[in-house]
Structures are given as C-alpha cells and as structure tokens.
Amino acid sequence: MNAFITGSHAYGAPRSNSDVDLVVLVDPDTQCLLQRESGDGPIRFGRLNLIAVTSERLFAAWKLGTEQLIEERYETGQPISRERAVEHLTALRAVPAGTQPS
C-alpha cells in the first residue's frame, strides 16, 4: 500500500488533540467503500483523517507537496501554518497531467 502522513504531524505543530492526516492510494472501488462508510464528509476513523486518492498523479502531488513543506519547515525552523499548507497543496494538485510540478 502506498501511504504517508501529511498535515501538522508531518510539517506543522500538532496539538494533543490534532488529527492524523494519512494519504493513501486506493482503487476506485475501495474509495467508494470508504466514502460510503463515512457519508458525505471526510473519511475519519477516530482521530485518523484518511485522504483516499485514486490517481497516481494526485498521490504524487500530495507526496511532493508534503516533502516540500517538510523541507520548508526545516529551512525556516518554523512550523507550517494550515493556510500555507492548503495553498501549497492546492496549487500542486491543480497542475495539469503531463506537466512537472516545481
């Protein structure tokens, strides 16, 4: 299984009640099953927030973005804010297929 932790536990400043964001690459049937179990909202299991993606391109964008934010945190010595992370990851996921995100 392809999976990694993102969010505050990877590059932010998690609090004692912070959820754990886990990105997983799954097939469409598995994603439908997980989404059906969680209803219309996020896929959650207790404090686990599951980000289930079915595209290798989106999985790679999440992974690259997370790695870049981890690097930014180490370079600045400051945790990455949620706003900064959302902005960065949204931009990477919007890169058209066949192009190389920077």
Q: What is the pLDDT of residues 6-65, one digit of tens each?
A: 999 999 999 999 999 999 999 999 888 888 877 766 788 889 999 999 999 999 999 999
46: left (phi over 0), alpha (psi -120 to 50) or beta: left
C-alpha dihedral (25, 28, 33, 35), degrees to nearest 10? 70
Joined tokens for residue 77: 């010595």
Tell me the pLDDT band of 101, cut-offs 50, 70 and 90: low
* Prediction pTM value: 0.85
Please state, in angstroms and rounded to a whole number, the distance separating the CA atoms of residues 63 and 41.
23
Tell me the pLDDT band of 95, cut-offs 50, 70 and 90: confident
Spatial strand order in the sheet of 48-53: 3-6, 20-25, 48-53, 43-45
In this structure, are residues 41 and 12 in contact, taking their beta carbons and an 8 Å threshold? no
Mean pLDDT of 79-98: 86
